Structure 1
Amino acid sequence: MTRTLIGYARCSTDKQDLEAQKQALAALGVAEDRIYTDHGMTGTSRARPGLDQALAAVRESDTLVVSKLDRLARSVPDARAIADQFAAKGVRLALGAVVHHPPDPMGKMFFNVLATFAEFEADLIRARTREGMAIARARGKLRGKQPKLSERQQKDLRRMHGSGEYSISDLAELFSVSRPTVYRTLEPRQPTSRTLGSRPICFGRIA
């Protein structure tokens, strides 16, 4: 029976990492047209079209090759679900140069251990990210969305528009912003007011 190597590579953001994985798969004997990829997909997301195509392509006695287990799955339930598909199809899994046979008890145990460590690593990364963001907020380094134009730039934009010499497109190009931003900047400001007795006191510039 013919045995085919099917490769799978995934990266979340860095295309260079994807190319490195493809080169590693090629070095393991996987043909270029047998490599399926997902780019911009996290390992925790099961909606990965490239992986679905790879799983559909493997047949009995074939081997799915990945550089590391965390490229294939980042959670224990996901890894076990994929292993079950391998077992049902009679497909082997190669993590780098090491081949595992999911139906084999030792292979299944080792696969589950690796999946547990992959999930643990993913949890650590998420925890460190949350901790880093909390520290940054405490130090005032993480702020809300900042305005695209400073107060001075907004005043200059309104003055230039009031001169009648500049169109909306001109202003957008000069200040390196979008036309909607120009329109928002030109919107009249609503004066703040408060009531003192029965007479409102208004603060703001009189148009």
Structure 2
Amino acid sequence: YDPTDPMGKMFIGFLAIMAEFESDLNRQRTKAGVEVAKSKGKMRGKQHKLSPLRRNLLLRDHETGRFTVDDLCAGYDLKKTALYENLKLARNERAGAAPQPELAEDELSA
């Protein structure tokens, strides 16, 4: 099809409309699936790699100043972004402001 003649323009426009329609359907299905998972308590997000005790040790090691960030990353098997996130979380936990994970309804009744 020649995209410069009227029939070609119509055909390409039709393909574009169908692609957009399929994209909208996919987005709608995904949103509905996420809502169902949230209502069932299945959406919790990624779990932290370090336990609260290991985060506390990481914070202590970081605050001593004896270790570089690279040493801490290697010792705790973390990337730099994860290291800083765990340090932030450890400070919040130490201050008593740790966010509590949401519990599913079946866990609350146990």
Could you say which TM-score interval applies, normalised by the shorter chain?
0.5 to 0.7
What is the one-letter code of the residue matched to 2:29?
R
Alignment root-mean-square deviation, CA: 3.4
Bigger CA radius of gyration: 1
Match of 1:102 in 2: 3
Secondary structure of 1:140's aligned partner: coil
Give the deviation of 1:115 after TM superposition: 2.1
Unpaired stretches in structure 2, ≥5 consecutive residues: 98-110
Q: 1:187, 1:168 → 2: CA distance?
A: 18
The count of corresponding residues between Structure 1 and Structure 2 is 90
Q: Could you tell me whether the CA contact under 8 Å between 1:172 and 1:182 is conserved in 2?
A: no
Identity level (%): 39
Which of 123, 130, 135 is the equivalent residue of 2:36? Answer: 135
Q: TM-score, normalised by structure 2?
A: 0.53
Match of 2:21 in 1: 120
Alpha-carbon shift at residue 120 of structure 1 (Å): 1.0
Greater share of helix residues, 1 or 2?
2
Offset of residue 111 of structure 1: 2.6
Aligned to 2:84: 180
Residues in 2 aligned to 1:114 and 1:182: alpha-carbon distance in whole angstroms: 48
Q: Deviations over 1:47-96 (max 9, x none)?
A: xxxxxxxxxxxxxxxxxxxxxxxxxxxxxxxxxxxxxxxxxxxxxxxxxx
* Runs (5+) with no aligned partner, structure 1: 1-99, 193-207
Deviations along 1:4-56, one digit per CA (max 9) or x if unpaired, are xxxxxxxxxxxxxxxxxxxxxxxxxxxxxxxxxxxxxxxxxxxxxxxxxxxxx
**Counting strand residues as a fraction of each chain, which structure ranks higher?**
1
2:21 maps to a residue whose letter is F
Answer 1 or 2: higher relative contact order, Cα 8 Å, separation at least 6.
2
Question: Residue 190 of structure 1 is aligned with which of 82, 95, 99?
Answer: 95
TM-aligned CA deviation for residue 122 of structure 1 = 1.2
Residues 102, 111 of structure 1: 8 Å contact kept: yes
TM-score between the two structures when normalised by the length of structure 1? 0.33
